[in-house]
Structure formats: C-alpha cells, structure tokens
C-alpha cells in the first residue's frame, strides 16, 4: 500500500484485487511486501491468541505463511493449520513452511473462509488478520468458525480500523471498512461474545508523501 495515489484507478483496482486474492508473480511479490507492512499487526495478534501447550490453531487467510514460524516457535507442541482461497499463496506457504509440514506441525489448505475443510470443534484458537474486509458472506464465515472452534476456544480478528483505512485509496475498491463499534456489533450479531478489544499504535507510514498514523484493532471473542 505504499504511495498508492500516484497510480491510476485501473492500477489501484488491480492491486486491491491482488490484496484480496493474490495471483501470479505480482501476487507473490505483493505478499512479501505486505509481510513488512503487517509485521506489527501480526505480532499483536499472536500475543492476543495466548497460545498454550498442545493447542491446535487455525489461521484464515494466511497468505504466504510468513508468520507461521512465529507461532510455532512459542511451544514445540503447538499445531497450526492455515487456509486461503488463493492457490499461489497456499503453494508459497507450503514452500516457506516445508520443515513444519514435514514435522507434521503445520498444514495448508486451499479453501474459502465460508467452507472450512475441518471437522467440528477441531481448533482451540482461530484467527484472521486483515481479511474481514473481503468476506462476501459474513454470516456463513462466522458460522463456519463457530463450527470448527471448540467450546472454550478463542477467536481473534485483527484489522485496521476505518479511521486508518480511509487514508488508503485502495480501500475504495472491494474493501468493507469497520470502526471498532461496527466490528463489535458484527461479532455479537453472529453469536459470539466479545472478551476483549485491543487498540495498538504502530509506527507511522508514509502515504501520499505524508506521514499518517497506523493502528491495529484486535477483537477477542468466544462462543
């Protein structure tokens, strides 16, 4: 999302689509760049998961799986599953995390968020970072999360709030933006109980030649 205002509308739309569902070499390169921009939000999210020994964690929309190592380094008994509906991202994640796949600590699936290929109550923790903007059938996604999450499990949804995203022209194309109140109401509407809301400042980023504030919004919920 660096300096997007210098681009024409067609280019902005194309990049926005790549952010939603990366494809080809452009998608691979953009995902690598987004790992840098999403460093802090991923760190905050992993902290919010409060992972414990022997837990099984699911990430919805893991991209190229760059941050899987940060999760599995917390405890050797943790197991991870990631799903994404971008074939190229699933392939990249499998390459990046080959050693974790070989040790049977990680697996990656090509699947949309509203059709999770897992058994009921398979996970202790479910999380997603910067994907909720793109969910087409929000109710179905929450229903699937509810199905695969164990009774005492934890759901963590992380995003940039509307007040931050409005600075990005890309967000005009295919993004649904949420304030803290918006996302809180949506989670409650879909039969989850909010346990905590965390707001974190990040280092400023340069957009359109000016420094703008960046924030992470993390919502923690349970059944």
The full length of the chain comes to 223
pTM (global) more than 0.85: yes
Pairing relationship of beta strands 123-129 and 106-110 according to DSSP bridges: unpaired
- Euclidean distance between CA atoms 190 and 181, whole angstroms: 14
- 174: left (phi > 0), else alpha (psi -120 to 50), else beta? left
Q: What is the pLDDT of residues 135-166, one digit of tens each?
A: 999 999 999 999 999 999 999 999 999 999 98
**Residues 213/201, Cβ–Cβ less than 8 Å:** yes
Q: What is the pLDDT of residues 185-207, one digit of tens each?
A: 999 999 999 999 999 999 988 76
How far is CA 168 from each of CA 88, 95, 171, 204, rounded to the nearest angstrom?
25, 31, 6, 13
């Amino acid at each position: 999302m660096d300096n997007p205002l210098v681009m024409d509308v067609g280019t902005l739309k194309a990049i926005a689509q790549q952010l939603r569902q990366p494809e080809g070499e452009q998608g691979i390169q953009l995902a690598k760049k987004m790992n840098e921009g999403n460093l802090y939000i991923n760190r905050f999210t992993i902290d919010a998961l409060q992972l414990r020994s022997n837990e099984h964690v699911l990430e919805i929309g893991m991209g190229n799986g760059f941050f899987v190592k940060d999760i599995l380094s917390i405890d050797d008994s943790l197991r991870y599953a990631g799903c994404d509906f971008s074939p190229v991202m699933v392939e990249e994640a499998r390459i990046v995390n080959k050693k974790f796949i070989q040790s049977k600590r990680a697996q990656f699936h090509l699947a949309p968020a509203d059709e999770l290929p897992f058994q009921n109550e398979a996970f202790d923790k479910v999380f997603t970072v910067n994907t909720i903007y793109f969910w087409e059938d929000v109710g179905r996604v929450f229903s699937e999360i509810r199905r695969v999450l164990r009774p005492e499990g934890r759901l963590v949804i992380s995003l940039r709030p509307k007040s931050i995203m409005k600075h990005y022209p890309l967000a005009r194309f295919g993004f649904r933006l949420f304030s803290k109140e918006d996302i809180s109401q949506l989670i409650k509407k879909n039969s989850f109980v909010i346990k905590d809301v965390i707001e974190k400042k990040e280092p400023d980023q340069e957009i359109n030649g000016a420094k703008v504030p960046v924030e992470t919004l993390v919502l923690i919920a349970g059944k």
